[in-house]
Chains A and B, each alone.
Chain A
Amino acid sequence: FVGRRPPPRPTTTCTTWGARAPQLRNNVTRANATMAEEEADPLGDAPPTAPPPAVPSSSSEPVASKDPISCALSLMRRMPPNKIEHNLSGLLNLIPEHTDELLQRVDQPLEEAMDAATGRAYLLCDYNRDGDSYRSPWSNTYEPPIDDGFVPSPKLRAMEIEANQLFDAYRELYFEGGTSSVYLWDLDEASGKGAFAGCFLIKKAVSGHRFVSDGAWDSIHVAEVLPDDGDATATYKLTTTVMLSMDVKHAADQVGDSNLSGSLTRAAEKKGVPVDAARPHLANLGTMIEDMETDIRTYLDALYIQKTREVVSSIRKLRATGMPTQGQPFTMNLNAAVLKHGANRKIDSES
């Protein structure tokens, strides 16, 4: 939109570093709460005694005052997911006073940049941003360069390097292409000794594929690692959003311009997970992320996308019947062929 507001910054959380840690905690727990809320108060559900949904309740009734954030989130679930940035930009222009919370709770497709120093691509989000500059996870420097840009402590940076290497390998195994980035940050003392958090991002673009003329997959995993006292076990919290958009091509332009797009968010938590040399934090977290992403992929493929197929079938049956003129020529041809065959038979089967 050509509104007053600039395009929103990618992904979650607020704009100032200082408040980040508690913000994240809120983000993860609030995301969990959102899931619970949404299950208890289903979107778009008509009350049991209402008339059939075909004629929804009149909008002349007084509109129950609804929390703008809930309404904004509802709208994001109704609007086509292949226009997420656009939809979100619209919302931010309508309710700018809720910008921080909206940016926290609504994920958007990731943007990519090139790290000139290493020649590698990396992904942009609020966690590697300082002002207008972004930090590359490969070179640990900001582009455009700034003085005193925030960088993780040396110990955390060492883990961040390892995390990026591992996640890069993961990305290659499952995506065979695309770009990944991992950014880590320490959580404050209130979260416990040694607690830290991270975001694990993947962006894959597909174009000119046999079936997908133009497509994109975005994964945003935000995780918290909370070691227990004694460091023998830890709690891991994970919130994952996957956004998918595919412009589908099919044989002989049969499906015209078709677009399948979707967005799913899920959360998981594991407590008391053993931590030792063979199972360091990154391994435990990595396994959790891998399982979560595979689950979401399965949901999208087997459930959500197949559901759209069911919706189409619930409107129109695959083969139209009942047009007698269509069947006649075929029947006539068949009759003629049978008769002709009968006339040519030399051997009578009943003799």
Chain B
Amino acid sequence: SPLEEEEETGGDDGEAGLNNPNSDGDPILAAADATADDADASAAAARTLEVEPLAAAAAATASTTSAAADEDEAEEEDEGYEDTATPEEKLTIAQYFLLNAPPGQFDLVLKEVRALLPSSLIDEARLQGIARAYNHANYRMVGASSGDDAVLACAEGAVDGRATLYRDAATGRAFEVDHARGTAKPVEGGPAETTADDASPLDALRRALEARVRRYAEAAKADEARVATAVYVTERAAAGGTLVIVVRGERVNLRNFWSGDWVSVWTVRAPPGLVVPGGDDDTNDEPDGPTTTTLTTTTVAGTIKLRAHYFENGNVHLQTDKAHPAATVSSATDRSPDAVADAVVAHLAAAEDALQAGLESMYADMSEETFKAMRRVLPITRTKMNWNLSEHALSRHVSSLA
């Protein structure tokens, strides 16, 4: 089929056209992959803010020894501890701190964690592996703060088999990414993905989504926020396919002790009946078989994650994780990619609006309802407490009888 041919061609060009410019690529990849499996697990764990031991083996041995160790230590407490954590255990802890770094603070967390570790423990390869897991979990934008030399360092954008090579979804340009330092270097010599000429409905849908998502994000973002969007094709099928939309906003103001990010990721199952207007498939006849609306039915599922951190003389976090289970959106009888894209982005925008409205309403209720459940501002008597004991003698007597 035409779709399969295009995929093969694209793939071949990709591998032949791009030479590996970095002779250290292999060791980094090997180490990154080794850590990445563990790191991905802990990244998933970090996202849900549960902590699991990274390596099952380390956990098993540690749990059996700690039971015995606890008894010993209970007796020896005052004399100090004989056992210290192994390097593997320390690495697990370091990874936990790094993967939980608040927006814009990965570098700072790294500096602080390094001061607590033996200097050789996080070598370059390990660091890249951990940073890669962090970037993937957060769909981090790496590279220049604006302009064309930036790319989303996420799994969907990674070039197969390479730990540090990422493709920009819109332009097809490839970037060599330094995960730990958050830099991206354009790699010359790689062909851009074919865009304007591509007649495949799935790619047409990708472009339609990309344009609308970018427009939506530019309109929705606050003035000084940094946003990035991307639409990736992640699966091609004979009819339809799967795309992933990423909308990511961030604002980092460390001088004033705050930072936050908003990461919104949507999986779109393209409808089987996509028709590119004017393309080969476009006919004026209604097809036999399934109803037209089925042909335009798209499912959209996603998650929106927010983090806000304020730490001036204190430490306060908001962490929000809202899952949107698969919902169907339809462009009715219009089978064009533009119409489908409109329906998808309208759904996405409505979901994000709803979440932010929900949060606003939560904040509005905070003082009077939520916080009051924790501690009142004043007692119900509306006066401060009288700390003179005799005043409480009666109530004390009463409560002791209860």
Which A residues lie at the B interface, using CB under 8 A? Answer: 1-6, 15-16, 35, 38-39, 42-46, 52-60, 63, 65-68, 71-72, 74-83, 86-87, 90-91, 93-96, 99, 132, 162, 165-166, 169-170, 173-176, 204, 206, 209-212, 215, 217, 244, 246, 248, 250-251, 254-265, 278, 282-283, 286-287, 290, 293-294, 297-302, 304-309, 311-323, 325-326
Contact = CB atoms under 8 A, between A and B. Distances in A.
13 contacts: A4-B89, A5-B85, A53-B254, A59-B180, A59-B181, A93-B85, A165-B389, A175-B375, A204-B375, A259-B320, A305-B316, A311-B308, A321-B220
A42 B90 contact: no
B81 A96 contact: yes
A40 B145 CA distance: 29
Nearest to A79: B100
B318 A298 contact: no
A342 to B, nearest CB: 30
Contact of A278 (B102, B182, B258, B388): B388
Interface string B309-334: 11111111111111100000000000
Task: Report the 6 A-B pairs with minimum CB-CB distance, sorted nearest first.
Answer: A254-B358, A256-B322, A322-B219, A262-B316, A286-B387, A173-B379
Interface of B: 49, 51, 53, 58-59, 62-63, 65-66, 69-70, 73-74, 77-78, 81, 83-85, 89-90, 92-94, 96-97, 100-102, 104-117, 127, 144-145, 180-183, 212, 215-216, 218-222, 224-226, 249-255, 257-262, 304, 306, 308-323, 342, 345-346, 349, 352-363, 365-367, 369-371, 373-381, 384-385, 387-389, 392, 395-396
Nearest to B212: A323
Given A75-B112, A255-B362, A44 B254 contact: yes
Contacts of A254: 354-355, 357-359, 361
A316 B322 contact: no
Nearest to B181: A58
B85 A212 contact: no
A297 B379 CA distance: 13
Contacts of B261: 315
Nearest to B221: A316
B145 A314 contact: no
Contacts of B51: 1, 83, 86
Contacts of B219: 320-323
B113 A212 contact: no
Contact of A78 (B315, B346, B385): B315
A263 B318 contact: no
User: Which of A3, A72, A175 has the most CB atoms of chain B within a 10 A radius of its CB?
Assistant: A3
Contact of A53 (B94, B218, B253, B374): B253
A33 B316 CA distance: 22
A70 to B, nearest CB: 8
Contacts of A297: 371, 375, 377
A175 B355 CA distance: 31
A298 B378 CA distance: 11
A323 B306 CA distance: 23
Contact of A259 (B104, B313, B318): B318
Contacts of B77: 15
Q: Which of A16, A217, A265, A313 has the most CB of B within 10 A?
A: A313
Contact of B363 (A43, A265, A290, A306): A306
Contacts of A165: 389, 392, 396
Given A1-B93, A262-B315, A212 B374 contact: yes
Given A16-B78, A309-B359, A318-B357, A71 B115 contact: yes
Contacts of B314: 77, 262-265, 299, 304
B342 to A, nearest CB: 5
B316 A300 contact: yes
Contacts of A63: 111, 114-115
A43 B353 contact: no
Given A255-B355, A305-B363, A71 B112 contact: yes
Contacts of B262: 312, 315-316
Contact of B320 (A66, A210, A256, A298): A256
A319 B319 CA distance: 21
A93 to B, nearest CB: 4
A209 B180 contact: no
B14 to A, nearest CB: 28
A316 B96 contact: no
Contacts of A1: 51, 53, 89, 92-93
Contacts of B392: 165-166, 169
A3 B94 CA distance: 13
Nearest to A244: B374
A314 B358 contact: no
Name, among A4, A96, A215, the residue most crowded by chain B CB atoms within 10 Å (CB to CB): A4
A60 B363 contact: no
Contacts of A95: 116
A307 B356 CA distance: 15
Contacts of A77: 311, 314-315
Nearest to B93: A90
A298 B319 contact: no
Contacts of A305: 316, 318, 363, 366, 371
Contact of A308 (B212, B304, B310): B310
A326 to B, nearest CB: 6
A255 B104 CA distance: 24
Given A55-B182, A63-B115, A316 B257 contact: no
Contacts of A306: 363, 366
B374 A204 contact: yes
A45 B255 contact: yes
B254 A283 contact: no
A162 to B, nearest CB: 6
Contacts of A80: 49, 100, 317, 319
A317 B345 CA distance: 17
Contacts of A170: 385, 387
Nearest to A35: B313
A71 B349 CA distance: 41
Given A90-B93, A320-B349, A78 B49 contact: no
